Amino acid sequence: MRGDQPLTSRLLKPILLDGETAEVADTRDLPFYLKALFISQPLHFGDYGGTPLKIIWALLDGFTVVVIGSGLYLYLVRWRKTRAVGFIPCRRARPEQ
């Protein structure tokens, strides 16, 4: 059985049927962790906002890839410069004695 509200439409309610008479013998609510799992499925799979929200998420994912790629590029450029010149340790102030 499923709920009739938008939030409860993803929740299931197990029922036990009598095999001989096909009548409902027992119903029970799901444990809290299964309710949380079923409610969070649309958020995980991204099927709660339709196509416009999926397009927005794709654009944001692309922006994230660009930021990570540019950071990696800057890191590699600096790493190559330090390898070419040699390691130059930074100068630290000596502690007063």
Greater pLDDT, 60 or 13: 60
Question: Could you report the per-residue pLDDT of 12-38, keeping only the tens digit for each?
Answer: 788 888 888 889 888 888 889 988 888
DSSP codes joined into one string, 2-51:
B-SSTTGGG-B--EEE-TTT--EEEE-PPPHHHHHHHHHHHHHHT-SSHH
Higher pLDDT, 33 or 85: 33
- At residue 94, does pLDDT exceed 70? no
Q: What is the mean pLDDT of residues 59-78?
A: 96
Name which residue leads in pLDDT, 36 or 42.
Answer: 36
